[in-house]
Amino acid sequence: MFDVKKFINETIRNLKNEIKGKAIIAVSGGVDSTVSAVLTHMAIGDNLLPVFIDTGLMRKNESDKVKSLFDSLNIKIKILNREEDFLKHLEGITDPEQKRKIVGERFIRNFEEEARNFNAEYLVQGTIAPDWIESGGGIRERIKTHHNVGGLPEKMDLKIVEPLRDLYKDEVREIAKYLGIKNWERQPFPGPGLSIRVIGEVNKNKLDLLREATEIVENEVENAVNNNLIQRPWQYFAIMLPVKTTGVHGDKRAYGYTVAVRIIDSIDGMSGTYSRIPHEILERISINITNRIPEINRVVYDITNKPPATIEWE
C-alpha cells in the first residue's frame, strides 16, 4: 500500500537536503507538475519559481486555468508567452521524435533563461515512472522519448530534481487529493502538447482547429461523466490528421481535414483499451466537430488498444 503521508514527509525532507539554493519548475496545470511544485514549495518556499510556458501547443484557455489553479494554492507563478519561438522551431518538421526533441530543447532553453534571471541552479520536474521507463530508462526498449526525460538536451546547466520519479499516476493523484489540489482528476496531457497530436507538420492553423476539436471532445466526455452515462476515461482527445477527404456541405462539395478521436481506458498509461463509449456520445462529438469547424468534414474513432498502439499517435 502506498503511504501518502509518509511519502510527503520524506519527500519534503529530501528536497530540503537536495536543493541548496534556488529552483525553478515548469508547471503545466497537470497533476504531476502541480504536485511536484506544491511539495517543493512546502520544502523551500519562495526559493522555488514555478513558470508556465505558453508554447502555443496548449489547449484553449490553458494559461488562465493554470493561473487560477495556482492562485487557489497561494503559490505565485510566472507566465511566459513563447508561442512564436516554439512554432518557428517546429516549422518543416514532420518526424515525431524530432518534434519531441525540439519541444524539449525549447523548454529547456527558455527555462535556462528564466533560471539565470532568478539565479536558480535546480530544475524540478514532474517526471513519473512510466515516463522514464518508456523512454528507455529501464530494461525496456525505447518506445518514444518523453520530452521531460530523454528529450532533454545533453548539455544543460541546471541540476535536475525529480521528486515523483518512482511513482505511478494513481499514486500522484492520491497525493494531490490528500493535499487538496483541485486538478487531481484532470486527464494526462503530454509535455510536447498538441505538437504530437497534429500529425505531420505543425502550424498555427492546424493547432487552432485541433484546439476547437479538443474542446468539443473534452466537453462531451465530461458532460457524459457528470450525467453518470460513463465512467471517466483515462484520456479523451482529438488528433489532427494530415489527410483531406471529400465531403458535402449543404449541396456543395467540400474537401476538408480528418480528425481522429481517441478515448482510452487505462490504470497507469502503460497499457490500455479503447473506450467502449456509447455511440450516441460519439455521434454528438462527430456532429459538433463538423458543425462548428467547417474545415473538418470527417471524424474517425480510434479502436486500437495499447499495445499494439500507443496512447498518443506520435
The residues binding ligand XMP (CB under 6 A) are 131, 134, 143-144, 146-148, 188, 190-192, 235, 269, 306, 310-312
Query: Min. distance of Cβ 245 from ligand XMP in angstroms?
Result: 25
C-alpha cell at 172: 500522484
Looking at residue 197, the DSSP 8-state letter turns out to be T
Query: Min. distance of Cβ 251 from ligand XMP in angstroms?
Result: 41
Cell 525549447 locates to 106
Give whichever of 233 and 256 is closer to ligand XMP, judged by the CB atom: 233
Query: Min. distance of Cβ 71 from ligand XMP in angstroms?
Result: 24
Burial class, 2, CB count within 10 angstroms (exposed 0-12 / middle 13-18 / buried 19+) = exposed
Phi, psi of 41 (to 5 degrees): -65, -35
- Contacts (Cβ under 8 Å, ≥6 apart) of 115: 24, 121, 123, 157, 158
Give whichever of 200 and 247 is closer to ligand XMP, judged by the CB atom: 200
CA distance 122 to 19: 7
Query: Min. distance of Cβ 87 from ligand XMP in angstroms?
Result: 18
Give whichever of 220 and 265 is closer to ligand XMP, judged by the CB atom: 265
C-alpha cell at 53: 510556458
66-71 contacts, C-beta under 8 A, 24 or more apart = 66/27, 66/28, 66/29, 69/29, 69/34, 69/181, 69/182, 69/183, 70/27, 70/37
CA distance 224 to 148: 32
Query: Min. distance of Cβ 156 from ligand XMP in angstroms?
Result: 17
Query: Min. distance of Cβ 133 from ligand XMP in angstroms?
Result: 10
Give whichever of 14 and 310 is closer to ligand XMP, judged by the CB atom: 310
Give whichever of 114 and 302 is closer to ligand XMP, judged by the CB atom: 302
Give whichever of 131 and 220 is closer to ligand XMP, judged by the CB atom: 131
Phi, psi of 310 (to 5 degrees): -90, 175
Give whichever of 144 and 211 is closer to ligand XMP, judged by the CB atom: 144
Cis before residue 307, ω within 30 degrees of 0?
Answer: yes
Query: Min. distance of Cβ 128 from ligand XMP in angstroms?
Result: 8
The neighbour count for residue 56, using CB atoms within 10 Å, is: 21
